[in-house]
Amino acid sequence: MTTTETTPIEAWTRRVEDLVLDLDLSAVRAWKDAQPGRKAIGFLPTYVPRELIHAAGMLPVGVLGAGEELEIVRGDACFQSYICHLPRSVMELGLSGRLDVLDGMLFPSTCDVIRNLSGLWQLEFPDKFVRYVDVPQNFDPEVGGKFYERLLRELLGELCALSGKSPEEVDLAASVRIYNTNRARVSELYALRAEEPWRVPASEAYLALRAGMQLPPEEHTALLEEYLELARAAERPMQDNARVVIAGAFCEQPPLPLIRTLERAGCDLVDDDFMLVSRWLGPDVPETGDPLKALVDAYLAFGGEASCKYVPDGEDKGARLIASVREKHAEGVIFAAPSFCDPALLDRPMLQEALDEAGIAYTSFKYSENTGQLQPIREQAGTFADTIKLWGDQ
């Protein structure tokens, strides 16, 4: 009989998986219990400036749905069958009391569904702090920038009123620094993935990122550092997998087994758009000057592309995706979008056209956060991986 010892990286994975799949948000409860009066604020994808919540002394918590973990009953009574899965699981989490630990919720301007969900939250949870957080689609500093700055100042004021922190006590610059460090570690993780993908399986990278949706940023940074160290040290055989970029999964999340399925199908995910909030501004938000202004400027300057963000110049459509493929030496793109996700699915033909012009291979499928039938996806991804490995250079 042989005993298999748990390697440090396996232990890390289990620990983080337990954290990430815990729909009762025990880690958030523990953080709140550690000090009386602490508050936590939930936010939905795609992007909110977490620095403001942090600076107001509260814990930002990403609410990304319930994956395949939860039976949806009340959530289904709120949404018709032709609406994506995310809002129904978020509603289920809310109505089942699992989100009671959150003292408020922020709903970013990602799509009409999340937008409407913000209002439903106001109706269903009238005692909670609920805000719809707009972002400018006009990127002129004098226009969209001014608007966004006023909006963020107001939001910061409201968050402080909720947390009880006086505006004089707020050290937003410190929060910017903390998140810059966090984003730098996230970038490091993505860089390692691209350089030595066999060291960083997609599922582990995903867990590492997802943990940041519940942990305070300082702790999350430490967890990323721990993982990076373990991954660099782990003895893992180099593999000749297909290097692919995932696009379209920026909101409703694919279930973890789906990500593992892609791995098993021979795909190294060298880039993706999961949890863009972790990477939105890049690590270089200026740490001098007015920190709020710095967040505004960084937002306006952010070159990333997401379906919820307007691309002012048609020539740039798809440019970010192509750049990612080139920079990460990817061999193809997997468009993985949630069913009924208008933003991702409407974007897809435009991005595909851009890839066609650039001669980049792609395949597409839809999923939902509770997709259980993974075999067809495995076959499709496997065929894609084989094809680009065989024919990629041609």
Partner 1 sequence: MNAPVKKNVVKEPSMLRQKEMIAQHFRDLARAKEQGKKVVYTFVPGNLTELMLSFDCLPLHPEINALQSGMRKLSGEYIAEAERAGHSEDVCTYVKCDIGMMLKGNIGPTGEKLPEPDLLLLSYTGCFTFMKWFELLRERYKCPTAMLHVPYQGEGHFTEEQVQYVVDQLRSEIIPKFEKVTGQAFDIDRLRDLLGNSARAEEDLVYVLESAKKRPSPIDAYFGGVYYIGPLFTAFRGTPAATEYYRMLREEVDARAAAGQGPITPDGLLDEERFRLVVEGPPNWTHFREFWKMFADEGAVVVASTYTKVGGTYDRGFRHNPERPLESLAEYCLGCYTNLNMPTRVDMLTNYVKDYEADGFLINSIKSCNSFSAGQLVMMRQVEKRTGKPGGFIETDLVDPRYFSASNVKNRLESFFQMLAQKGQEVPA
Does an H or E element contain 353, and which? helix 342-358
Q: Which does 181 bind (CB under 5 to 8 A by kind): partner 1, ligand SF4, none?
A: none
Q: What is the DSSP string of 218-276?
A: HHHHHHHHHHHHHHHHS------PEEEEEES-SSSPPPHHHHHHHHHTTEEEEE--TTG
Please identify, using beta-carbon distances, which residue of 345 and 360 lies nearer to ligand SF4.
345
In the bound complex, what is the minimum distance in angstroms from residue 92's beta carbon to partner 1? 13
Give the Cα separation of 54 and 155 in Å (integer).
12
Sign of CA dihedral 162, 163, 169, 172: negative
Q: Which does 150 bind (CB under 5 to 8 A by kind): ligand SF4, partner 1, none?
A: partner 1
Which residue among 25, 106, 113, 354 contacts ligand SF4 (CB under 6 A)?
113
Q: Which stretch binds ligand SF4 (CB under 6 A): 11-19, 137-145, 253-261, 341-349?
A: 341-349
Decide: 337 and 248 in contact? Cβ < 8 Å. yes
Give the Cα separation of 365 and 379 in Å (integer).
11
Tell me: does residue 252 bind ligand SF4 (CB under 6 A).
yes
Which residue among 202, 245, 251, 276 contacts ligand SF4 (CB under 6 A)?
251
Tell me: does residue 84 bind ligand SF4 (CB under 6 A).
yes
Q: Which does 290 bind (CB under 5 to 8 A by kind): partner 1, ligand SF4, none?
A: none
Give the Cα separation of 2 and 5 in Å (integer).
9
x/- binding map, residues 326-365, to partner 1, per CB under 8 A? Answer: -------------xxxxx-xxxxxx-xx------------
Alpha-carbon distances, residue 9 vs 16, 229, 231 (angstroms): 10, 10, 7
Pick from 386, 326, 337: which is nearest to 359 by CA? 326
Give the Cα separation of 190 and 209 in Å (integer).
10
The residues, ordered by sequence, that sit 6+ positions from 271 with a Cβ below 8 Å of its Cβ are: 190, 193, 194, 245, 246, 324, 325, 328, 330
In the bound complex, what is the minimum distance in angstroms from residue 112's beta carbon to partner 1? 4
x/- binding map, residues 93-112, to ligand SF4, per CB under 6 A? Answer: -----------------xx-
Please identify, using beta-carbon distances, which residue of 233 and 346 lies nearer to partner 1.
346
Give the Cα separation of 133 and 197 in Å (integer).
36
Which residue among 49, 75, 318, 338 contacts ligand SF4 (CB under 6 A)?
338
Q: Which two tokens stand for residue 383?
A: 């065929």
Per CB under 8 A, residues contacting partner 1 are: 77-80, 82-83, 87, 107, 109, 111-113, 115-120, 122-124, 131-134, 136-138, 140, 142-144, 146-147, 150-151, 154, 307-308, 310-312, 314, 317, 339-343, 345-350, 352-353, 366
Per CB under 6 A, residues contacting ligand SF4 are: 84, 86-87, 110-111, 113-114, 251-252, 338, 341-344
